[in-house]
Amino acid sequence: MVSRLVLVRHAKTQARDPEIIDKDRQLTRAGRCSIEARFPVSLQLLAEENVDEVKIWSSPALRAMQTAEVVARSLGIGGIEIRESLYADSVDTFMGELAEESGTLIVVGHNPFMEELYGRLSGTAQDMGTGAMASFGFTAAGEHLAGVGSWLEWFVQGPRVELWQSIADVEDGLADAAKRIARRAATLLENPDDPEALHQYRISLRIARSLLGFVAPYCKGAPVRKTMRDIKRLQDPTSRVRELDMLHEALDSQTAEAAIVGEARAQLRAGFLERFAGDATQKELARVVKRIANVPWRRSIRQSGLDGQVLVDRVAQMRADYELSMAHVDYDDQEAVHDVRKEAKALRYVTREFSRLLPESAGTTNVRAKAVQDKLGELCDCWNNAQLVIEICGPQAVQIASRFVVRADEIVADLRRGRTYGLAISDS
């Protein structure tokens, strides 16, 4: 007879789908991660008992076998035996099979079978969530078949899968950001003369950098900081090209200044594209994309999960910091305006790309952060255009530059009158 029986309910599984037969339903990524983190800890309760002989039985359902594989790895056991009785939910059949076994047996199965078996062995009811474990010891041979002579040694409720679901959702957002960079880079290679292709590539880099900055406290610091620096290194060469694109678009195409700027722009773009298409940049881009999609979490986060409320609170703090900056920004200080615009961008990208993790109110935050970004962006563009047109065309362009300055002054006046131009997030 067995001396110990450990009941294990399979981990969190993908939802029922009429196109997938029940036996083929798999563990969710969060479900797998949760037991990979917690099973080695829970199963130390067995190790402390100096268990020499351990067998693992599993239901033939894929989700149970995947769970059993994690159990086996945690204990360093090589074999898993499939038992149909664990899928058929037949407690009587299973008990008959149990009578022929000895040592410690770990069985991985499903509810209601697991809860029914628990009740028969203990005489009490117990909810067994996904990933739950219960260990029963037995006395004399045969007595446990009637539910007598067995006792509960220990019980561990299943992990809170939502803690690892938050991690999975963040990883999905980062993976999407990585794929976006790859797509935008490919589009730029295919359309090197399209200003919008360059613009979208720049945006994809900024989004990824903002997302990494948001999750940085929960990740291994050095690798994430390096990835953020590498993203900036990819982004920096695009800045001047984008500025000349914006200036050229703002000028009257019939003017001499437009022709001068156009020529400077073409030369700069050609140099940038040559470097961008080169092997060194493309290899660096591929490395960065890969690292973004495989963010290295801190060990404590992998082990304990990440509470979604922590992320909600972090967004709330970002919003509070932005509102404070917006309320006190000096519109005569171009650097200060640029900084608060960056805060608005980060808030916009985080609330959009991680929306599945945040409450519905984050949608309003996103919309209003975009409005701030656009308004301050117009102001920054006016300042840049005024400076660039003089720098490139010389004193002859002073009249054109003055028009950009006048427009910038108008925007600043509007901002000062409304303090936030009606764009504060908290007044929505």
Query: Which residue has tokens 């056991």?
Result: 77
Contact at 8 Å (CB) between 139 and 149?
yes
pLDDT number for residue 332: 86
Dump pLDDT digits (tens) for 364-397. Answer: 888 888 888 888 999 999 999 999 999 999 999 9
Q: Which residue has the higher pLDDT, 288 or 428?
A: 288
pLDDT number for residue 363: 83
Dump pLDDT digits (tens) for 336-369. Answer: 999 999 999 999 999 999 999 998 888 888 888 8
For 418, other C-beta atoms within 10 Å of its C-beta total: 11
Q: Is the pLDDT of residue 144 over 60?
A: no
Averaged confidence pLDDT in the chain? 91
8-state DSSP, 27: B
pLDDT confidence tier of residue 50, bands split at 50, 70 and 90: low
Domains in the chain: boundaries: 2-159, 162-303, 307-428
pLDDT number for residue 7: 97
The CA distance from 366 to 78, in Å, is 51
- Which amino acid is it at 10? H
What is the average per-residue pLDDT within 158-163? 95
What is the average per-residue pLDDT within 315-323? 92
Contact at 8 Å (CB) between 305 and 163?
yes
Query: Which residue has tokens 């900081």?
Result: 225
Helices (H), 43-160: 44-47, 62-75, 85-88, 91-98, 113-122
The H-or-E segment that residue 175 falls in is: helix 161-190
What is the average per-residue pLDDT within 411-427? 63
| DSSP reduced 3-state for 54 | strand
State pTM to two decimals.
0.89
What is the average per-residue pLDDT within 396-407? 94
pLDDT number for residue 362: 83
Dump pLDDT digits (tens) for 281-299. Answer: 999 999 999 999 999 999 9
pLDDT confidence tier of residue 51, bands split at 50, 70 and 90: low
130: closest CA among 14, 22, 11, 304? 11
pLDDT number for residue 426: 47
pLDDT number for residue 79: 86
pLDDT confidence tier of residue 239, bands split at 50, 70 and 90: very high
What is the average per-residue pLDDT within 410-419? 79
Dump pLDDT digits (tens) for 189-208. Answer: 999 999 999 999 999 999 99
Angle between helices 161-190 and 256-277 (to 10 degrees): 120
Helices (H), 5-90: 29-42, 44-47, 62-75, 85-88
The H-or-E segment that residue 55 falls in is: strand 54-58
What is the average per-residue pLDDT within 302-323? 94
Dump pLDDT digits (tens) for 244-263. Answer: 999 999 999 999 999 999 99
pLDDT confidence tier of residue 143, bands split at 50, 70 and 90: very low
Q: How far is CA 337 from the centre of its chain?
A: 29
Beta bridge partners of 105: 5, 55
> pLDDT over 70 for what percent of the chain?
94
SS3 string of 318-383? HHHHHHHHHHHCCCCCHHHHHHHHHHHHHHHHHHHHCHHHCCCCHHHHHHHHHHHHHHHHHHHHHH
Confirm whether 2-159 and 162-303 share one CATH topology: no
pLDDT number for residue 421: 44
| DSSP reduced 3-state for 84 | coil
CATH of domain 162-303: 1.20.120
CATH of domain 2-159: 3.40.50.1240
pLDDT number for residue 110: 95
> pLDDT over 90 for what percent of the chain?
75
Dump pLDDT digits (tens) for 85-127. Answer: 899 878 888 888 888 888 899 999 999 999 999 999 998 999 9
The CA distance from 34 to 68, in Å, is 14
The CA distance from 47 to 336, in Å, is 59
DSSP structure string for 119-135:
HHHHSS-----TT-EEE
What are the structure tokens assigned to 147, written together?
């539910």
Q: For 163, what's the count of Cα atoms within 13 Å in the CB-facing half-sphere? A: 17
The CA distance from 309 to 313, in Å, is 6
> How much of the chain is in helix, strand and coil states, percent to nearest 5?
70, 10, 25
Contact at 8 Å (CB) between 59 and 108?
yes
